[in-house]
């Protein structure tokens, strides 16, 4: 069921795309609209990957380092 | 009259020539400074399920993390942009649970440590073709753990530049010292750095992403990783207390395959509000399944000041090999009492403040941006932590 929902979201999202010209990207180019992580989140992402079993798929580091404690 | 006409024509052509010079942005062939970032964080946590003491005992820990990043760029003869990103990070932590590795000492070797992690990344972007190629190296070193990382990436924009596909391959080759709890040590050492046996842990990952502009206000990115780890994946100082009262250390399989899938969507609502949503589904070969959902709302109080409250919810199942204190039996092949691998839910909430005035922060032209963020994290098993982070950008 969850795969069907994910598939529907992707199809609907992809189907509703419109071409946006460079001069129309003032909102998309805002610093807060970045699709990457904020630099200030760096340590948060690090401690979450140590304190939780799941990691990855957030455009960050995937492995390396101890996280022993 | 003829001379006057020719003179006017010559003057006109001269003016046209003067104003028809290439006015496109100057692109430096020399290495030029793009920006620098200083990021500092203070983290503290507490709880009562430390893996060092077999799933019971204090998890008290503090960590002070600082990193400095400098980004330089240059353009080559083929109008490609080269970016060089150098980062140097240093963390210092104190851990009450690590101090229990050797409780007979007043303060054991691992009660505090400093981690140093430099990295260098290079990328070249071809604006005409819409392609980016990059590579990077990293090192991380602390007393009992050393990690060497390397990565390569390739990205390609769609023809209309509204979408981008990227693939990143990473490898981390790690070596850890097998520092066991003092009562279980069968080797002799004088606490010298070279007296402990070592083991390796290697991680290989493929990260795929596709970002797409949906319209003038909405853009999304789909993320998928496949991560394979091999080697010593437990930690040698995580104690296990069996039902019969005997003691050992955490033992986990030598292989782990992780598959996280994520999607992020950012939406500009009206003129002052930006909604940032993120969801991740995760599954691995140890039987751990997890869901992560995150929502942030950036409110532009002024064009140069934004306030960003956020909330993150996380839920995971336990790995197949987890059991609490004195619940494992020595007949089992694998066992851990690490509560980070147990079943739990957690919440993380807080807010960030971002100041980016056009004339610079405090009127200092190159002090481009200041961002401050606080978050409180709490698991339903009682473990909780606080983190405050600062990002200063010089441009």
- The proportion of chain B whose per-residue pLDDT surpasses 90, expressed as a percent, equals 80
pLDDT classification of A69: cutoffs 50, 70, 90: very low
What is residue B123's predicted lDDT score, i.e. its pLDDT? 98
Looking at the complex, does the CB of residue A21 fall below 8 Å from at least one CB of chain B? no
**Residue B142 has which token pair?**
């602390």
Looking at the complex, does the CB of residue B43 fall below 8 Å from at least one CB of chain A? yes
The rounded Cα B361 to chain-centroid distance in angstroms is 26
Q: What is the mean pLDDT of residues B339-358?
A: 97
Is the model's pLDDT at B19 over the cut of 50? no
What is residue B196's predicted lDDT score, i.e. its pLDDT? 85
Q: Among B260, B284, B354, select the one facing A57 at the smallest CB separation.
A: B260
Cα separation of B343 and B316, whole Å?
Answer: 6
What is residue B22's predicted lDDT score, i.e. its pLDDT? 45
Mean pLDDT rounded to a whole number for chain B = 90
Pure H helices in chain A? 2-15, 42-51
Pure H helices in chain B? 2-19
Of A21, A69, A11, A23, the closest CA to residue B46 belongs to A69
Cα separation of B365 and B372, whole Å?
Answer: 19
User: CA nearest B387 in A: which residue?
Assistant: A44
Task: Decide which of B269 and B95 is more confident.
Answer: B269
- The proportion of chain B whose per-residue pLDDT surpasses 70, expressed as a percent, equals 88
Angle among Cα A53, B88, B165 to the nearest 5 degrees reads: 60
**Residue B341 has which token pair?**
């691998």
Domains detected in chain B: 28-394 (2.40.160.40)
Q: What is the mean pLDDT of residues B246-255?
A: 95
Q: Which of B85-99, B254-268, B284-298 has the lowest mean pLDDT?
A: B85-99
Decide if B357 contacts B370 (C-beta within 8 A).
no
pLDDT classification of B113: cutoffs 50, 70, 90: confident
User: CA nearest A52 in B: which residue?
Assistant: B340
Cα separation of B390 and B223, whole Å?
Answer: 27
What is residue B207's predicted lDDT score, i.e. its pLDDT? 96
pLDDT classification of B192: cutoffs 50, 70, 90: low
pLDDT tens digit sequence for B98-111: 667 766 554 444 57
* Sign for the pseudo-dihedral over CA of B324, B327, B329, B333: negative
Is the model's pLDDT at A20 over the cut of 80? yes
Phi, psi at B303, each rounded to 5°? -60, -15
Looking at the complex, does the CB of residue B93 fall below 8 Å from at least one CB of chain A? yes
Q: What is the mean pLDDT of residues B181-194?
A: 68
| Contact assignment for A59 to B172 by CB distance below 8 Å | no
User: CA nearest A39 in B: which residue?
Assistant: B391
pLDDT tens digit sequence for B121-175: 999 999 999 999 999 999 999 988 999 999 999 999 999 889 999 999 999 999 9
Q: How large is the ipTM? A: 0.86
Is the model's pLDDT at B193 over the cut of 80? no
pLDDT tens digit sequence for B363-391: 999 999 999 999 999 999 999 999 999 99
- β-pairing, B255-269 vs B305-316, is unpaired
Cα separation of B257 and B121, whole Å?
Answer: 26
Q: What is the mean pLDDT of residues B305-322?
A: 98
What is residue B160's predicted lDDT score, i.e. its pLDDT? 87
Cα separation of A3 and A6, whole Å?
Answer: 5
What is residue A61's predicted lDDT score, i.e. its pLDDT? 65
Q: In a 10 Å sphere around its CB, with 0-12 CB exposed, 13-18 middle and 19+ buried, how is residue B128 labelled? A: exposed
| Chain A hits for B352, Cβ within 8 Å | 38, 40
Is the model's pLDDT at B307 over the cut of 70? yes
Cα separation of B228 and B203, whole Å?
Answer: 6
Q: What is the mean pLDDT of residues A55-64?
A: 72
Q: What is the C-alpha end-to-end distance of chain B, expressed in Å?
A: 58
Looking at the complex, does the CB of residue A2 fall below 8 Å from at least one CB of chain B? yes
Q: Residue B210: CB partners within 8 Å, gap ≥ 6?
A: B163, B164, B165, B166, B221, B222
Q: What is the mean pLDDT of residues B258-276?
A: 96
What is the longest distance spanned by two Cα atoms in chain B?
A: 116
Looking at the complex, does the CB of residue A53 fall below 8 Å from at least one CB of chain B? yes
Helix and strand numbers, DSSP H then E, in chain B: 1, 18
What is residue B377's predicted lDDT score, i.e. its pLDDT? 98
Looking at the complex, does the CB of residue B132 fall below 8 Å from at least one CB of chain A? no
Q: Which of B9-13, B154-158, B298-302, B317-321 has the lowest mean pLDDT?
A: B9-13
Cα separation of B34 and B342, whole Å?
Answer: 44
**Residue B28 has which token pair?**
């430096």
Q: A42 to chain B nearest CA, in Å?
A: 8
pLDDT tens digit sequence for B53-94: 999 999 999 999 999 999 999 999 999 999 999 999 999 989
pLDDT classification of B186: cutoffs 50, 70, 90: confident
Could you tell me what percentage of chain A is helix, strand and coil, using 3-state DSSP and rounding each to the nearest 5?
50, 0, 50
| Contact assignment for B174 to A44 by CB distance below 8 Å | no
């Amino acid at each position: 069921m969850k795969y069907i929902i994910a598939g529907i979201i992707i199809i609907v999202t992809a189907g509703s795309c419109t071409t946006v010209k460079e001069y129309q990207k003032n909102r998309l180019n805002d610093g807060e609209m970045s699709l990457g992580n904020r630099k200030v989140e760096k340590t948060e992402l690090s401690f979450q990957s140590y304190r939780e079993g799941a990691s990855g798929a957030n455009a960050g580091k995937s492995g390396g380092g101890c996280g022993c404690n | 009259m003829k001379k006057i006409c020719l003179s006017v024509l010559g003057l006109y052509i001269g003016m046209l020539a003067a104003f028809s010079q290439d006015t496109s942005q100057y692109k430096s062939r020399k290495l030029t400074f793009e920006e620098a970032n200083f990021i500092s964080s203070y983290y503290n946590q507490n709880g009562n399920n430390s893996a060092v003491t077999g799933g019971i005992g204090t998890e008290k820990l503090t960590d002070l993390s600082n990193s400095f990043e400098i980004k330089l760029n240059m353009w080559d003869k083929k109008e490609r942009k080269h970016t060089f990103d150098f980062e140097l990070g240093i963390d210092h932590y104190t851990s009450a649970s690590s101090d229990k590795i050797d409780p007979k000492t007043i303060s054991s070797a691992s009660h505090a440590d400093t981690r140093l992690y430099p990295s260098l990344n290079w990328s070249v972007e071809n604006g005409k073709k819409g392609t980016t190629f990059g590579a990077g190296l990293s090192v991380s070193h602390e007393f009992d753990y050393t990690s060497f990382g390397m990565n390569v990436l390739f990205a390609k924009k769609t023809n209309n530049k509204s979408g981008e596909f990227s693939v990143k391959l990473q490898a981390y080759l790690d070596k850890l010292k097998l520092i066991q709890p003092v009562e279980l040590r069968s080797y002799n050492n004088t606490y010298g750095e070279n007296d402990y046996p070592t083991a390796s842990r290697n991680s290989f990952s493929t990260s795929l992403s596709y970002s797409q502009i949906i319209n003038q206000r909405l853009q999304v990115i789909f993320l998928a990783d496949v991560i394979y780890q091999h080697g010593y994946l437990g930690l040698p100082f995580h104690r296990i207390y069996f039902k019969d009262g005997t003691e050992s250390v955490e033992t986990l399989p030598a292989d782990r395959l992780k598959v996280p899938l994520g999607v992020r969507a950012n939406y500009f609502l009206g003129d002052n509000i930006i909604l940032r949503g993120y969801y991740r589904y995760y599954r691995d070969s140890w039987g751990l399944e997890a869901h992560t959902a995150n929502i942030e709302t950036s409110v532009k109080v002024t064009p140069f000041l934004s306030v960003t409250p956020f909330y993150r919810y996380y839920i995971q199942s336990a790995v197949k090999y987890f059991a609490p204190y004195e619940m494992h039996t020595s007949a089992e092949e694998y066992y851990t009492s690490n509560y980070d691998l147990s079943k739990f839910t957690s919440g993380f909430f807080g807010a960030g403040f971002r100041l980016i005035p056009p004339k610079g922060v405090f009127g200092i032209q190159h002090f481009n941006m200041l961002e401050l963020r606080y978050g409180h994290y709490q698991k339903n098993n009682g473990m909780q932590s606080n983190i405050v982070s600062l990002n200063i950008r010089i441009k």
